Amino acid sequence: MYAQVFGRRNISSASRGLRGYGTMFGDHCPLVVTSAQLHNLKNDSSVQERDLVVLDASWHMPNSPRKADEEYRARHIPSSRFLDIDRVASPHPLNLAHMMPHPHAFAKACSELGIAPSTHVVIYDSQGVFSSPRALYMFRTFGHHRSSILDGGLPGWLSHGGTTQHEQQKFMHAKYATPTLDGKAVKDYKHMVKNAKLDPAENAEAYYVLDARSKGRFLGSDPEPRPGLSSGHIPYSISLPFTAFLETHNIPDDVASSIEGNLSLTYTRLRSTQGIIIALEEALGPQRAKEVLDGKRQVVASCGSGMTAGVIWLGLKMLGLDSVGIYDESWTGYAMRPASEIVKGE
């Protein structure tokens, strides 16, 4: 049962008019749930359709042949719905994909997905932990704290005995008022250019920019997956590949033998909080990591297009940090502009 999995929380005054499921966490749900926990939620007879919505937020790199929407139609967690992160995004003057949507667009998408403000939204992807954190960042930044990711995603669900279906369930639209965006969590190009002029070693107001791309792309020795785009990094940024916060697992052989299609037989899960702290210390060094962990230095995550920066954001949120944002355009938006200063090498 839901209460047995997570324990009971005090009921806030704002939640007293809601059904039991909605009040067990007040306005907050855990950042991460396991496959066993999701199974319990889905099989709790007290949970109504509007109480819990599971979203497939899978996304693949531009150079990948995989199509997330087609894979969803072929196989998904029962009763889950597909969230197209690129379709929900707001238009950008540089035609960048999956930018943070306008509040009205976010509310419309929630309404069409049958999500109400009281709904606990559980988000997964088909690679384990890859694009789901970006979707969670979107929900949380719009104040929808009743949201979580499924650790291990679809492969983890299958590995732990979960079933899938190809049929798409019909559901009713919901009412969702236009929310307020937490602007402090979203950084734009002007923010990054201003910060790039500040040496964090000399200026306590400068925030640490953690670059989630591979070390080769950060150094400028490896090409970007987007043709014509220079690799390298923003001045004073720090390399922290998103994979440092993850661990790789194998789908059991008996499950793997029954899987058809493009699903990989390996998948990722988040490291323990101690593992995330170790990765943070290895990237930043003990002194700078302590600044971050003590809440004395703001952090902004960046990556290629704003997607895997969500993994860094989530890992730091799991450590209880508040001052964590994402550079929405990330490297693609920065490097596309001729005026941008690009550093290569260390």
The pLDDT of residue 8 is 31
> In this structure, how many other beta carbons lie within 10 angstroms of the beta carbon of residue 14?
10
Nearest to 300 by CA among 192, 204, 155: 192
The pLDDT of residue 262 is 80
> In this structure, how many other beta carbons lie within 10 angstroms of the beta carbon of residue 320?
9
Q: Band of the pLDDT at 169, cuts 50, 70, 90?
A: confident
Q: Band of the pLDDT at 4, cuts 50, 70, 90?
A: very low
Q: Is 279 inside a domain boundary?
A: yes
Say whether both 94 and 217 belong to one domain. Answer: no
Instruction: Show the tokens assigned to 329.
Output: 């355009």
Q: Is 1 inside a domain boundary?
A: no
The pLDDT of residue 47 is 83
Q: Is 6 inside a domain boundary?
A: no
The pLDDT of residue 64 is 86
Instruction: Provide the CATH number for the domain around residue 217.
Output: 3.40.250.10
Say whether both 202 and 168 belong to one domain. Answer: no
Say whether both 40 and 128 belong to one domain. Answer: yes
Say whether both 35 and 172 belong to one domain. Answer: yes
Return the active site residues: 303
Say whether both 190 and 264 belong to one domain. Answer: yes
Q: 161, 181, 201: which is the final residue of a domain? A: 181
Q: What share of the chain is helix, strand, coil (3-state, %, to 5)?
A: 35, 15, 50
Q: With 0-12 CB in 10 A as exposed, 13-18 as middle and 19+ as buried, what is 159?
A: buried
Say whether both 251 and 155 belong to one domain. Answer: no
Say whether both 142 and 158 belong to one domain. Answer: yes
> In this structure, how many other beta carbons lie within 10 angstroms of the beta carbon of residue 267?
25
User: Could you read off the pLDDT of 21-75 as tens digits, one per residue?
Assistant: 443 444 669 999 999 999 999 988 888 888 999 999 999 988 889 999 999 999 9
Identify whether the C-beta of residue 133 lies closer than 8 Å to the C-beta of residue 309. Answer: no
Please provide the average confidence, as pLDDT, over all residues in the chain: 91
Q: Is 172 inside a domain boundary?
A: yes
Q: Which residue, chain included where needed, has tokens 């690129």? A: 86
Domain, as residue range, for 305: 184-336
Residue 328 has pLDDT above 70, yes or no: yes
The pLDDT of residue 304 is 96
Q: 181, 212, 246: which is the final residue of a domain? A: 181
Q: Is 5 inside a domain boundary?
A: no
User: Could you read off the pLDDT of 88-147 as tens digits, one per residue?
Assistant: 998 898 989 999 999 999 999 999 999 999 999 999 999 999 999 999 999 999 999 999
Q: What is the pTM of this model?
A: 0.92
User: Could you read off the pLDDT of 209-236 as tens digits, one per residue?
Assistant: 999 999 999 999 999 998 899 999 999 9
The pLDDT of residue 12 is 32
Query: Residue 158 — φ and ψ, nearest 5°?
Result: -65, -40
Instruction: Show the tokens assigned to 77.
Output: 């967690």
Say whether both 324 and 230 belong to one domain. Answer: yes
Q: Is 175 inside a domain boundary?
A: yes
The total number of structural domains that make up the chain: 2
Q: 181, 209, 239: which is the final residue of a domain? A: 181
Q: Which residue, chain included where needed, has tokens 């497939």? A: 56
User: Could you read off the pLDDT of 275-314 as tens digits, one per residue?
Assistant: 999 999 999 999 999 999 999 999 999 999 999 999 999 9
Q: Is 344 inside a domain boundary?
A: no
CA–centroid distance for 254 within its chain:
30
